[in-house]
Amino acid sequence: MKNLLKTLVWLSLSAGSLAAQAGIVEPFTGGQLSATGWSTGIGADASLYLSTAAPDGSYGIALSEGVWSYNQDISFSAGETLSAWINPGPSPTADNNAQGGRIYLGFDAGANGAYSFVAASDTNQLGFQNNTAYATPDFSATSAQNYLDQWYLLTISLSADGSAATANLYDNNGTSLLSSLTQTGLIGTDTGIALRGIGGAAITSLSITAVPLPAALWLFGPCSGLLLISSRRK
């Protein structure tokens, strides 16, 4: 019995937290908003993005009209991570005649507005906005970022108390960090997400990674059973 207890304690302490898996909450099937609960359509010109597939093999949706849509059926809460593959289009240069685009990935979204991180290739920035009443004011915080015509992985992680959020932009391998931006002083009132796009910007595989369950809790059920069996044998 004593040896069994030692083994269980060691397993609980050494396992840490179980790895969390991202779950796709909006696949943009057919180049449209395909999950239930969106407040409105995302624009008549929204279409399947057919240029190149994202690294996960999906194509997603291309957005041009700057229409906001929010979804409170999809819950994004403190401690979780929201992610998506995005392509806001190439940043303008003297050689490419590009105009750039923007993907707004919003959170704490409800009828009265949202917060959002914005991949803005038109201004070479990763920015943050407080979209009260779904206005689009100037960025309150930015990180410089030049964009190519390729897919990027954008993640937004909420702190454990929801008062801070960090956006990370990764290269198309999904692991090389290019830009990071943190906003503090957030006052969360909703758990919905929101989306907006201009300039033909593309997004696919919108996912949420839930708070990982501590391994000690996961082990509690099986371990308690083993303890019960051991005690009965005595």
Q: How would you write the pLDDT of the chain (234 residues) with one tens digit per residue?
A: 555 444 444 444 444 444 567 799 999 999 999 999 999 999 888 889 988 999 999 999 999 999 999 999 999 999 999 999 999 999 999 888 899 999 999 999 999 999 999 999 999 999 999 999 999 999 999 999 999 999 999 999 999 999 999 999 999 999 999 999 999 999 999 999 999 999 999 999 999 998 765 544 444 445 444 444 444 444
4, 110, 120, 220, 231 from 234: Cα distances, Å? 13, 58, 67, 21, 5
Q: Tell which residue, 115, 174, 178, has the closest CA to residue 143.
A: 178
Is-contact 71 109, C-beta < 8 A? yes
Predicted pLDDT of residue 114: 99
> What pTM did the predictor assign?
0.83
Predicted pLDDT of residue 227: 41
- Measure the CA–CA gap between 12 and 15, rounded to whole angstroms: 6
- Measure the CA–CA gap between 124 and 116, rounded to whole angstroms: 17
Predicted pLDDT of residue 202: 97
Q: What is the DSSP letter of 95?
A: T
Question: In the CATH hierarchy, which fold is given to the domain comprising 19-233?
Answer: Jelly Rolls (2.60.120)
Is-contact 10 233, C-beta < 8 A? no
Predicted pLDDT of residue 163: 98
Query: How is the chain split into domains, by residue range?
Result: 19-233
User: Residue 106's beta-bridge partner residues?
Assistant: 116, 194
CA angle 19, 173, 100 (to 5 degrees): 120
Q: Tell which residue, 170, 157, 161, has the closest CA to residue 117.
A: 157
Predicted pLDDT of residue 214: 57
Query: Which pair of tokens denotes residue 203?
Result: 């997004």
SS3 194: strand
Is-contact 203 63, C-beta < 8 A? yes
Predicted pLDDT of residue 211: 75
Phi, psi of 229 (to 5 degrees): -60, -45
Predicted pLDDT of residue 2: 52
